[in-house]
Structure 1
Amino acid sequence: MDRTSVDWKGYFPALTTPFHPDGSLDLEGWTRLLRWMGDQRMHGVVVAGTTGEWFSLSDRELAALFRRAGEILAGRVTLIAGVNSFHAQTSLAKARLAADSGFDGLLLTPPPYVKPSAREIAVFYADVAAAAPLPICLYNWPPGTHVDMTPDLLADLAEIDTVVALKNSTPHWDRFLTTVERLHTRLRLFGIPTNDEGIALFQAGKADGLMGAGAVLGSDHPDFFDAIWDGDIERARRLGQRDRKLMTDWFTPGFTGRFGSAQAILKTALDLRGLPGGPVRRPLLDLDRAGRDAVRRTLVDLGLPVADADATP
């Protein structure tokens, strides 16, 4: 397998997971969110990734999320399942749930917390790939794993047969570009910025899209890529500027939240837009008043109707 084995491209939001105020899973809210993503013409979605708080989900909850996503979106958009874990067997158990639910692929970081060596990372991915029922998208996520996989290591992992894509969230642009040049003929590459540099990479066929956070701007996000495909670069630039305002206002250059967790920021934004965001699960905490007001200001600056900030959980 390689990049030609899949047709993944465009904008894939990493979805938040709605919870009730008591912390239980909000499946009704999840259903509404999935249907909205389909109506907003997303090219794909990522379920139970970092933004989806995979680290606080039980096996039963994960199965419910996958099953409902498959029921609503399978065959309509590309479905990617987050299967992060501390060891291969747990990732494989999650992968089988995803396959049974109609998913198209898997998104997988190196094991978090333990900070494995390059050799240990290679063995981990090889162990998962040997029995994975779906193709794999590597996920380089330094804030969560404390490992920034080098271009050399990513090139080695790209040789694993079922690895077909890479979401590269390194904060180092030189590393990103080096990896693009080395691997764009082998893997589908996600993570481009929504600016002229990203547009140029996309037009040149050296990158395939963005697995972004939350899709709080709705169709603006996939329309950025649609505009490039249509040759309307000025429209793509305008839409990209809207996306970058979110990133600049809410996140650091290292992709962590400026005034709370990414999950709490994005859920607050969804709540303010009248969509099912809901609270985060502890140990994460919801935004304080100042954080909620900061999110609201950005949405208002972008011309979006929002609910009263006092109504935000």
Structure 2
Amino acid sequence: MRLSGSITALATPFTAAGELDLDAWRRLLQAQREGGTHAVVVAGSTGEAAALFEAEYDTLLRAAVEELGGQLPVVAGTGLSNTARTIEQTRRAAALGADAALVVTPPYVRPTQAGLAAHFRAVADDGALPVVLYNVPGRTGCDLLPDTVAGLAGHARIAGIKEARNEPERMQALLPLRDDGFCVLSGDDPTAVRAMLAGADGVVSVASNVVPASFRRLCDLARGGEEAAAEALDAQLRALYEFLGLESNPIPLKALLARRGFGHGLRLPLTTLSPEHAALAGQIAEAVDRLEAAAANDNAS
């Protein structure tokens, strides 16, 4: 399996009472499919994985496979702070029908590079699912360096990396590792076009939760080498990127999703969007609707 294009790191909708909103979840999945998204990630950091109980994780992943299985890949977030537990979670995701596992560097424990290499090899050697490495130092406290990635890239069960560091030098160091069995994906919306124009396979996106058609269009343009058109569309999305970064992810995102009827909030310790940003949220929501209508027309033509 090779992942590419617009891959949405899905938010998890909750009801006003704080329970899973399965109706909203299924509608969100349908909106992603209809918008042209190439793959989805269930229960990643954007999906508030740390706030989910095991039964809820199972419910979300099972519903995603039922809704999208056979049409686009369903990737499960399975990375935990311990290797044995990560293997167990990856097996769990495989049993529920996931196509691949997105495995973040172990949060909080800050392994050495040798420890990171051993961790990812152990998960991949277990063989439950193809593994996509995920590097996001700002959340985990450790950085998976390119030399370590290079040592992992040839593993038959390691399918790629989602790199969330946004420096162009980091992406340039990873791109030579691309081959038929290893993809390089941006994990940073604001610099994803730059990465794809340089040769990255796609992006695992937060913004595409609310603009799936626009991100499909953006990825098609950038991966097709249409630099001017990709950068023009990216410029129109810049205000959305900035809004999504105002507070911790997925707080601003869920404010936008709630306006579309996809859930009612977050779980503590995350709180709802600060009141001073409410007016801007409305403006962004209106702009997003216009962009999506235009992108849907472009994608259909």
Normalised-by-shorter TM-score class: 0.7 to 0.9
Shift of 1:86: 1.5
* Residue number among 79, 84, 94 corresponding to 1:84 in the alignment: 79
Q: How many pairs are equivalent?
A: 286
Equivalent position of 1:177 in the other structure: 172
Gapped regions of structure 2 (runs ≥ 5): 292-301
Aligned-residue offset at 1:129: 1.2
Q: CA deviation at 1:160?
A: 3.0
What are the superposed Cα offsets for residues 245-267 of structure 1, whole Å, 9 maximum, x if unpaired? 3223432xxxxxx2x22111111
Distance verdict in 2 for CA 1:124–1:7, change over 3 Å: closer
Matched, 1:266 2:253: yes
CA distance in 1, matches of 2:58, 2:196: 37
- The residue that corresponds to 1:213 in the other structure is 206
Amino acid corresponding to residue 283 of structure 2 in structure 1: R
Q: CA deviation at 1:184?
A: 1.8
* Cα deviation code 1:101-126 (max 9, x no counterpart): 33211101111011111111112112
More helix by proportion, 1 or 2? Answer: 2
Secondary structure of the structure 2 residue equivalent to 1:266: helix
Amino-acid identity (%): 29
Moved more, 231-240 or 127-136: 231-240
**Is the 8 Å Cα contact of residues 95 and 133 (structure 1) preserved in structure 2?**
yes
Correspondences of 1:137-216 after superposition (within 5 Å): 137-181=132-176, 183-185=177-179, 187-191=182-186, 193-195=191-193, 197-201=194-198, 206-215=199-208, 216=210
Note the alpha carbon deviations across 1:152-175, whole angstroms, 9 max, x for none.
111122233311110001133212
Shift of 1:77: 1.0
CA shift in 2, pair 1:266/1:226, >3 Å: same
TM-fit CA distance, 1:60: 0.5
Tell me the residue number matched to 1:247.
Answer: 241
> CA shift at 1:194, angstroms?
4.1
Alignment correspondent of 2:295: none
Which secondary structure does the structure 2 equivalent of 1:137 belong to?
strand
1:131 is matched with: 126
Q: Is the 1:148–1:170 Cα contact (8 Å) retained in structure 2?
A: no
**Structure-2 residue corresponding to 1:296:** 282
Deviation per residue, 1:250-296 (Å, 9 max, x gap): 32xxxxxx2x2211111111122x14042110011111211232332
Single out whichever of 72-81 and 287-296 deviates more from structure 2. Answer: 287-296
Contact 2:4–2:202 at 8 Å: present in 1 too?
yes
Letter in 1 for 2:201: D
Per the alignment, residue 299 of structure 2 pairs with: none
1:172/1:225 CA distance change after superposition, 3 Å = closer
Structure 1: where are the runs of 5+ without partners?
A: 1-5, 252-257, 306-313
What is the TM-score of this pair, normalised by structure 1?
A: 0.84
Alignment of 1:83-102 (within 5 A): 83-102=78-97
Matched residue SS, 1:7:
coil
Q: Secondary structure at the match of 2:273?
A: coil
Native 8 Å contact 2:197 2:225 kept in 1: no
Could you say what the CA RMSD is over the residues aligned between the two structures, in angstroms? 2.1
User: Which residue type is aligned with residue 285 of structure 1?
Assistant: T
Q: Could you state the TM-score of these two structures normalised by the residue count of structure 2?
A: 0.87
> Retained in 2: the 8 A contact 1:47–1:82?
yes
